[in-house]
Structure 1
Amino acid sequence: MTALDAEFAHRALLLVFEPFDPELWPLIAPSAPSVAQLQAAGWLQATAEDWQIPAERREQLSSEPATLRAAYQQLIAAELAHAAHNSALAIRLFADLRTFAELLIRQAPHELADLVKQIPTDLAPTKADHQLLEYYRGLAAGLRDQYAEACTLLSQLLAQPDLEPMIRGRALNSDATFARYSGNYDRALANYQASFALWEAQADPVRQAYVLLNEGSLRYHLQEYRAAERCLNSSLATLQAQNLLYPQALVLINLGLLARDRGNWGQSLSHFEQAEAILQAENATDFLGRIANNLGELALLQGHYAAARQHFEQALAQMSSRVYHIDAYLNYGLAWHVEGMFEQAESAYRQALDLVESVERQEIAALVWFRLGQVAAARNDQHQAEQHYLQAIDLIEAMRAPILAESLQISLMGRWQQVYEGAIAAYLAQDKLEQAFLMAEKARARALNDLLARNGQTNQAFGTIPSLSDVQQGLAQGSLMLDYMTLGAVGPEASLLAALPATAKALRSLLIQPAATWLFAITTEDVQAFNCQLDPNILLATSPFQCDGRRFLRPAILQRLAQRLLLPAQALLHQAQQVLVVPHGALHHVPWHALLLGELELDLPTTTIPSAASYLQLSQRQPSQASAPCVALSYAGGVEPALVHTYAEAAAAVAALGGQHYPLPAPNIDQQLGTYRIVHIACHGVFVLDQPLASWLQFGPNQIVSALDILTNWQLDADLVVLSACQSGVSEIVRGDEPFGLVRAFLAVGARAVLVTLWPVDDVASAVLMQLFYQALQAGYEPAEALQQAIQQLRSMPQAQVSLPLAPSQQGDYPFADPHYWAGYQLIGVGNSISKVKPATSAA
């Protein structure tokens, strides 16, 4: 070792000053050895193109991350001192700024703000450098958990019309992430998608992968697990192909979370360990702290509470980002909470709450208040629990209000169901029916209600939640509303809950509300609440037939459901003249006509509605002002089996009511439907479980009309839409109790009521029932009454009166007595008010 070797204190600086520039070296390190001395000592060697550090010397220059960052700071400071008077050094300054900033983002994100505030904007040699510095300032604010400031700075940057595409793409991605942390999910999703489109246009698959990573994280956060998995796997494939390890680790963390929530704890641990190995090599301490938090969650779920607390303590020690300290404190509190250590649990939750207020992370504040409410409830302080739950719900409502995207509204409400359920249970325990009902209405996603209000189709203000007295005043005399609310129904977390050990009962009780089904029975004069003694989870199905209501038609199942769901309100039912059913969760798939006509033998006009708020909105919608009575569309072809009687059904509707019959396909038919009070559509219909808004009706060869098409392009003024199509009434009931499918589409675009089927209907039975239904409408019955009359006549119709050919299985005294033929019909919306139809005067 030479004297120069021993005294050379600028090794790290030499490493970061690459490519080495002999002319700038004296300015950068005036007290360091000269170029000639470095060359003589073997630290530098000249090549034909540039100067290089020999490989054996480079190994000696390897430095600890903190030392390396200090060298970059020294380099930037030296360049800053001369850049104003040296254009070459100014160019070099911004090149080194980019390198150092990207290093800090990985290793010490909180230090980025200190770096960028040193750099005067007027030193930027080019417009792109100026824009990049502005981007780093916005990013630095977000990395210090100052989300409002970050979004403001990034919005100002994005407003520049000449913004470099590379910088615009990154700014959109970063702005989306900070908007997400602020609870602005509309903005987050829109900017992720805009960023992805930009990188796609730039043919930059790596940046696309970064966006997919972040969007996958958002989808996971909203419990949209299938969408999250698609985004994350696509991102990982690209990053692996490019051999980019650091971002792979971030994807693996999210995949680990996804596997954990699906109960695949071994796979989850494998993902976390792979990510940990990569991040240790990158010296990414902050992210290593996040993995410690994730490992603590796994230990907690497996019942290893002391080990979990150790992981959470490690996470709090390692992480520099305060925003993730909140998660660690929440988990730390939970690890005390499950063992009945309420004082320690509350202390940890309060520390999380203090951080929430300092870092603007409102989207997690609701969970903190909810956990505090659970502590109060465990101490039997119901009043304090109620107050904490209300604080959580106020925060959720504030986040929900500005969201325009329906899918995001629904996902958000699904994620927070447990909070509302906790408040409902607390109110019911205190016999506060008014507050419990109001909270049950709030617990629904309400996306359809908001859509109706935004479209100006009702006189209710956006976001209105009806009180019990509002509902009572809106009911007609003799009406009975059966408003159901299910608590503790498992959703996307079902696999995680199933994987909990038998000893984890305390943890389970904190992760999901005890299962129950409650009924609010409402008339104009009375309100009663009943615990139906029914676990809603026994009604859930995991098969592809989960939305098929025929699974409830077995006599023993119908009898038990009637006993649980109807018998508590038996006295009120026997006094009622009509029934309005507000289902919840899996109850949307129950054939209510079969239930009422079974053990209780109640033959009443029955309508189902998505919520009490929907009922008030639809009933306040003005009756149709359309000039023509009825339009009927029919198409027999398409998917098997062929529908033989659709033409006859449509012709019967027009014969009874007057109007026009259009055999399909018919050009631009959707543009003509707004002039008819009743719209009858007889064709094949298919419900798409994975994408309910892709559910469709077949209007001709290779011509389908999806629920999304209807929502986007149709406008009706119809008292009634009749969908005589297979599975036209099936909806996926997503978390938050929002029905997604064709029914929702027609109600949203102007129908007051929709008559649909819950399962594929028999063609002959459908033709007969439709003829009876329209005859009843012609005779002056309202839609709910007309359906009641048609079902009554169909099930009691002797074979001799059936003019259409019957299948061998239908031969018998009463071929349509079985509920399979008639119980699937359901009127959804407002079934007791319709513009009076006139007897037919013409038919086409």
Structure 2
Amino acid sequence: MFAELGQPPDITSEKFETLLFEAVWHHDLDRVRALVEAARPLTENQPFLQQWQTYALGYLAMEADHDPVAAIQQFEALRAHGNTLAPRLYERVLNRLGMAYEVNEQWDRALASYQECLELHRAKDNRLGQGIVLLNSGIVHYKACAYESARECCRRSIELLSESPDAKTWQTNLSASWNLLGLVYREQERFDKAQAAFQHALAISQRWQDLNRQGPIYQNLGDLHQRLKDRTQSESFYRSALTLLYQLGDRRQAAEVLYKLGTLKLEALTEFEEASRLFDESLALAQATHNYEAITYIHLSRAELYDRLKQPEAALAESQRAVETVESLRANIVQPEERASLQASRIGAYEQIVKRLCDQDTVHSYAQAFHYAEMAKSRTLSELLASRPLRRSAQVPAEWLAQEEQLRRSLAQHYQESSSSPEEIAALEASLHQLRERIRLQDAEFASFQTIEPLTLEEVQARLPAGGLLLEYFTAGENILAFIITAQQVSVTQLPLRVEELRRAFKPVGDQQLGALHHLTRGADGCLRAPWILHNLYQKLIEPLGPIIHTASQLYIVPHGLLHYVPFHALYQKTEVAPRYLADLALQPQRIVYTPSATVLLDFCQRKPHSEHPGCLALGYNDQTLTQAEAEAVAVAHVVGGESRLGPAATRASLLTEGKHYRYVHLSCHGWFNPTWPLCSSLSLADGALDLTDILYDLQLNADLVTLSACETGRSYIRRGDELIGMVRAFLYAGTPAVLVSHWAVDELSTRWFMERFYRELAGGLCSQAAALEHAQRFLRTLTSAELRQILLAENRSGEDVSRLIDGLARVAGYPASAQLRGDECLFAHPFYWAPFFLVGEQLS
């Protein structure tokens, strides 16, 4: 090998570059490793050679070790050199960096890298480079379901790559761009355009005899025609794909095509025996190639097959096998690029088994169904945070964590090697299970980010406080189920609301994107309308549960999916006088607490000791658009004692270093929950964004409560809904049992008064956080215009300024411009003002 590469003294950076890209072109990882070793003695005196070697190490981290975090470290180290990098290297670093961030699901950073790379290619008029980078950017947008952005990237890529019809490199990438455009059109249900795009891709790949691309394109065409209910044409395309895949020896992808053929036979309703045979054949291939996504879907479809054959026990057994697959150790020691596809199959597996068990309508089946629902919610969070570094637990010895990482790596390698013996693998799996159990016993919350061990129904009932009721929702397909749990009883209700109907309760704002609930925020004219949707949702989400809901003094709500964006505390029953909100329907006002799962509330939140620190650290940062954030921080610190950090002093650094010394942490600043890329959500402080990685890895608190105020923690649009829990759950892990957040962008002035009242209730020491929140909401909701005038005058505002503010609020509330206010009008009665804030988690003792 070294003779072929040249002895070390003969290696220059130019020769290294040439040899490296020959090896990369052939995906020859051994040759890349040999090059790295051959160059090692010479790098000290040849900086360009050292840079190319670092690039090669990043490439190996991605392609050989499947470790995008290590690759990012290598590529970012090179990027820091900027203009001092070797010729032709900077563009390659940016492109590879984008790919590493994409695999690690840091999609905003991937796009930023691609955009910088694109600008460099434009400056050099490198049309091929531009086309490839636009294709890569389109893939990121497609994964994020941002289909219009993906379509635009494809259009520009196709336009550029079409300029050289006789160059293979240009044309193979052109085929990939057409194929991606077909996928985008398919998701947008523009099926004619999707078919035309796939046919373009197929024609190019056939011209260049690119068999590797033809198989997936045939499969995409088969899927398209299956959606169009054209089973004959669909089967023809699937058969073509299967022939090519067998020819190429791609058994992993062949398993997926066989599965799709099986679903075609299942849809025919008369070919159950052939469907069963195809599922069996597909399962054997999927198991041989460790294709856990395909294995899961096969079990789910076999369950559907048994349903059709009127064999419910066999159907339930297949559903259980699907869950066992997605929760198996093998499926959860996968490469990052497989995580997204597995997530979709996990959702289907949990939804199916929860619905089947609830349909059995027994106490035992309810307990099992609840357990799987909790597993699903824990797994959603685990997947959401899987690509982020986590602050090490102080309770778990460092050598245990190092040992766990080593066992994971060893297992990942053994799973990929056909020569590994089952005995070897079983021994490693047993060691990892035992170690993880020891870690869980030391710090269950830390362990929960990797292993899923939710509380059982019996444990939940035992931990519920007297008078407490847990209301846990779960969406299964189009069905919405509600578990109603007290210390004494449990029941499950299927609600008279379909998920599609729930989606229509939100304002559509684009490609599969939803805005706020109808009439919950200001309209285009700046005015508020009657929030009738909250009454409709009350009738569908609360009323069917019966009077037991109103007998509880404390209500713990576990949403799921889109229900994370429903302000349950603002749902109301109509009366002749005024709306009666959920908290007011019991004999005494109910305290309402939200939680990502029962396990988070009743286990992790209760493990955190009460803070021994006094006062509040309040950070207020107005930036360019907020005007009241800093005044709010001053007021909060004054009410409960403590320190306020304002303007340039409201920094990430102050939070990370000082936050651990306060009972309350109050952040009054802009913030965004990014539903497309949840892990990119951040809070805007004076020295930059505090993102989810900062919170998980660097922030350590000993606080009873964290408040995110004036933050746009509600969002411009939403997708499934579970993405909301990421930021909140990160703060819970940082060291607080409770986080106060908002559903939508809030009114600054009313929020300041709301927060002052909330903290004044807390400072009194006579009520819980949930009770203080309910009191503050009631205060704002019932505040009259006369009382408001007195508050404003007490702030040393002029009479003219006060009248202007009150008249403006009256117009927003729907009073005509000519109306004379009597003084008893409740200008903040609309839920827009008082309902955005909700409490996630709380110490119950």
TM superposition score normalised by structure 1? 0.69
1:282-297 aligned within 5 A: 282-285=208-211, 287-297=213-223
In the alignment, which residue of structure 1 is the partner of 2:405? none
The counterpart of 2:455, out of the listed 448, 461, 466, is 466
| 1:750 equivalent in alignment to 2:687 | no
The superposition leaves residues 637-663 of structure 1 with CA deviations (integer Å, 9 ceiling, x where unpaired) of 5216x32xx455334433332212233
- CA displacement at 1:421 relative to structure 2: 1.2
SS of the equivalent of 1:328 reads: helix
In the alignment, which residue of structure 2 is the partner of 1:656? 639
The superposition leaves residues 37-96 of structure 1 with CA deviations (integer Å, 9 ceiling, x where unpaired) of xxxxxxxxxxxxxxxxxxxxxxxxxxxxxxxxxxxxxxxxxxxxxx9xxx9xx99xx9xx
SS of the equivalent of 2:189 reads: coil
Alpha carbons of 1:550 and 1:393: their partners in 2 closer, same or farther (altered >3 Å)? same
Distance 1:346 1:536 in 2: 31
Distance 1:342 1:697 in 2: 54
Distance 1:785 1:531 in 2: 30
In the alignment, which residue of structure 2 is the partner of 1:33? none
Distance 1:454 1:227 in 2: 35
- CA displacement at 1:350 relative to structure 2: 1.5
- Residue 371 of structure 1 aligns with an amino acid whose one-letter code is S
Alpha carbons of 1:286 and 1:134: their partners in 2 closer, same or farther (altered >3 Å)? closer
- CA displacement at 1:612 relative to structure 2: 2.0
* Largest Rg, 1 or 2: 1
1:512-661 aligned within 5 A: 515-540=478-503, 541=506, 542-543=508-509, 546-549=514-517, 551=519, 554-595=530-571, 597-598=580-581, 601-602=585-586, 603-625=589-611, 627-636=613-622, 638-639=624-625, 642-643=627-628, 646-661=629-644
2:16–2:52 contact (8 Å) kept in structure 1: no
Distance 2:71 2:312 in 1: 38
Alpha carbons of 1:342 and 1:351: their partners in 2 closer, same or farther (altered >3 Å)? same
Distance 1:222 1:762 in 2: 30
1:680–1:721 contact (8 Å) kept in structure 2: yes
SS of the equivalent of 1:749 reads: helix
SS of the equivalent of 2:473 reads: strand
The superposition leaves residues 191-222 of structure 1 with CA deviations (integer Å, 9 ceiling, x where unpaired) of 99899987734799868977986897698678
In the alignment, which residue of structure 2 is the partner of 1:322? 251
The counterpart of 1:350, out of the listed 262, 280, 286, is 280
Q: Give unmatched runs, 5+ long, in structure 2.
A: 7-14, 41-48, 80-88, 96-120, 122-127, 395-442, 522-529, 573-579, 793-801, 811-820
- CA displacement at 1:298 relative to structure 2: 2.2
Distance 1:822 1:222 in 2: 33
- Residue 238 of structure 2 aligns with an amino acid whose one-letter code is F
Distance 2:689 2:294 in 1: 42
In the alignment, which residue of structure 2 is the partner of 1:821? 833
1:732–1:739 contact (8 Å) kept in structure 2: no
| 1:438 equivalent in alignment to 2:382 | no
Distance 2:61 2:617 in 1: 49
1:440–1:485 contact (8 Å) kept in structure 2: yes
- Residue 495 of structure 2 aligns with an amino acid whose one-letter code is C
Alpha carbons of 1:234 and 1:188: their partners in 2 closer, same or farther (altered >3 Å)? farther
Distance 2:147 2:60 in 1: 22
Distance 1:571 1:687 in 2: 35
- CA displacement at 1:395 relative to structure 2: 2.4
2:675–2:718 contact (8 Å) kept in structure 1: no
| 1:789 equivalent in alignment to 2:789 | no
- CA displacement at 1:186 relative to structure 2: 6.4
2:292–2:331 contact (8 Å) kept in structure 1: no
In the alignment, which residue of structure 2 is the partner of 1:682? 668
2:55–2:75 contact (8 Å) kept in structure 1: no
SS of the equivalent of 1:816 reads: coil
SS of the equivalent of 2:829 reads: coil
- Residue 662 of structure 2 aligns with an amino acid whose one-letter code is Y
1:411–1:735 contact (8 Å) kept in structure 2: no
The counterpart of 1:339, out of the listed 268, 271, 275, is 268
In the alignment, which residue of structure 1 is the partner of 2:401? none
Alignment root-mean-square deviation, CA: 4.4
- CA displacement at 1:777 relative to structure 2: 0.9
1:634–1:662 contact (8 Å) kept in structure 2: yes
1:43-54 aligned within 5 A: none
Distance 2:560 2:485 in 1: 16
2:58–2:72 contact (8 Å) kept in structure 1: no
The superposition leaves residues 412-443 of structure 1 with CA deviations (integer Å, 9 ceiling, x where unpaired) of 42454223211222111222112211222222
Distance 1:222 1:330 in 2: 26
1:154–1:171 contact (8 Å) kept in structure 2: no
- CA displacement at 1:822 relative to structure 2: 0.9
1:17-416 aligned within 5 A: 160=37, 162=39, 200-201=91-92, 239-240=161-162, 243=167, 244-285=170-211, 287-319=213-245, 320=247, 321-340=250-269, 341-398=271-328, 401-402=332-333, 412-414=342-344, 416=346
Alpha carbons of 1:155 and 1:714: their partners in 2 closer, same or farther (altered >3 Å)? farther
- CA displacement at 1:520 relative to structure 2: 0.7
- Between stretches 592-601 and 233-242, larger displacement belongs to 233-242
2:712–2:745 contact (8 Å) kept in structure 1: yes
1:222–1:415 contact (8 Å) kept in structure 2: no
1:581–1:607 contact (8 Å) kept in structure 2: yes
Distance 1:452 1:574 in 2: 43
The superposition leaves residues 252-304 of structure 1 with CA deviations (integer Å, 9 ceiling, x where unpaired) of 33332332233222222222222222222223345434433332222222111
In the alignment, which residue of structure 1 is the partner of 2:700? 715
Distance 1:624 1:659 in 2: 17
- Residue 543 of structure 1 aligns with an amino acid whose one-letter code is V
TM superposition score normalised by structure 2? 0.69
The superposition leaves residues 735-772 of structure 1 with CA deviations (integer Å, 9 ceiling, x where unpaired) of 48232665344334323211122223333422332222
SS of the equivalent of 2:327 reads: helix
The superposition leaves residues 705-759 of structure 1 with CA deviations (integer Å, 9 ceiling, x where unpaired) of 4555545543322111122204335597654823266534433432321112222
- Between stretches 423-432 and 255-264, larger displacement belongs to 255-264
2:144–2:677 contact (8 Å) kept in structure 1: no
- Between stretches 396-405 and 630-639, larger displacement belongs to 396-405
Distance 1:613 1:449 in 2: 17
In the alignment, which residue of structure 1 is the partner of 2:429? none
In the alignment, which residue of structure 2 is the partner of 1:494? none
The counterpart of 1:422, out of the listed 344, 352, 355, is 352
- CA displacement at 1:783 relative to structure 2: 0.6
- CA displacement at 1:535 relative to structure 2: 1.0
- CA displacement at 1:131 relative to structure 2: 8.5
- Residue 837 of structure 2 aligns with an amino acid whose one-letter code is Y
1:9-20 aligned within 5 A: none
Aligned sequence identity (%): 28
2:381–2:726 contact (8 Å) kept in structure 1: no
SS of the equivalent of 2:444 reads: coil
- Residue 324 of structure 1 aligns with an amino acid whose one-letter code is Q
Distance 2:290 2:612 in 1: 51
2:660–2:703 contact (8 Å) kept in structure 1: yes
SS of the equivalent of 1:307 reads: helix
- CA displacement at 1:784 relative to structure 2: 0.6
- Residue 476 of structure 2 aligns with an amino acid whose one-letter code is L
1:582–1:609 contact (8 Å) kept in structure 2: yes
SS of the equivalent of 1:821 reads: helix
1:731–1:739 contact (8 Å) kept in structure 2: no
In the alignment, which residue of structure 2 is the partner of 1:728? 713
SS of the equivalent of 1:807 reads: helix
Distance 1:195 1:348 in 2: 50
